[in-house]
Structure 1
């Protein structure tokens, strides 16, 4: 396996794993079983996120938002990750594009995301999030 394929594979696994964490963290019935430290460990120190609204968030704001969202969803909350594909890359950095589909309170939404990952020997999947940009494809239904 080439280093590029390995980096893409690790980043893809990280995307899926992190969104599984979100479901477990946000669903009230499961929130007590989740290790929040796993989330903090993969958020790069200088992480930036552009939310679908256009707001720019730094690492602290992202971590605070996720922390505050603990146990705010019912058992029907779901996230699926679709259409994962590689973008620009170097030996230790990759841009990965994907679509995140959510079902929350019976309402669907979809967002296209591009995420920048760098290698990190201390992260669970060997990569950490450095930048995330999300754009609405389908705003949450009303």
Structure 2
């Protein structure tokens, strides 16, 4: 991996972990008042799209609205960990990053395989913005 691409992967990795820290803080009622929602909006690029684990395709507006309306909906037990993060295809300004997102919500575990496309952006929190996200269930939330 060239130095430029290593830097791009480093930025994208920091963004994946940083955004998921934001989610935990935003969703946990005890911490939601300490979080700036603009951090999330600045990270979502124009034209962002997502394939949710259930197969539903969402545009940027739907994802932003969903996250905004989910503020403070979890208790202190909510947690997200990022596992097995690695680079996929990349060029000078674009990278695909693969990772597993593990969640604990309401005492129930779930895991999803994710692939995310990032492009460079000087205005985004870690120098990259999310362009596309695809999630697939590895472990559906326990009932």
Q: How far 1:73 sits from its partner (Å)?
A: 0.1
Alignment match, 2:64: 63
After TM superposition, the structure 1 = structure 2 runs for residues 70-81 of structure 1, keeping only pairs within 5 Å, are 70-81=71-82
Match of 1:61, SS state, is helix
Partners of 1:74 and 1:109 in 2: how far apart?
A: 16
Alignment match, 1:109: 110
Alignment match, 1:95: 96
TM-score (norm 2): 0.98
C-alpha RMSD of the superposition: 0.7
Alignment match, 1:47: 48
Q: How far 1:93 sits from its partner (Å)?
A: 0.1
Partners of 1:124 and 1:56 in 2: how far apart?
A: 25
TM-score (norm 1): 0.99
Partners of 1:28 and 1:13 in 2: how far apart?
A: 24
**Unpaired segments ≥5 residues, structure 1:** none
**Unpaired segments ≥5 residues, structure 2:** none
Match of 1:86, SS state, is strand
Partners of 1:58 and 1:118 in 2: how far apart?
A: 17
Partners of 1:121 and 1:104 in 2: how far apart?
A: 34
- Name segments (4+ residues, structure 1) moved above 2 Å: none
Match of 1:35, SS state, is coil
Q: How far 1:44 sits from its partner (Å)?
A: 0.4
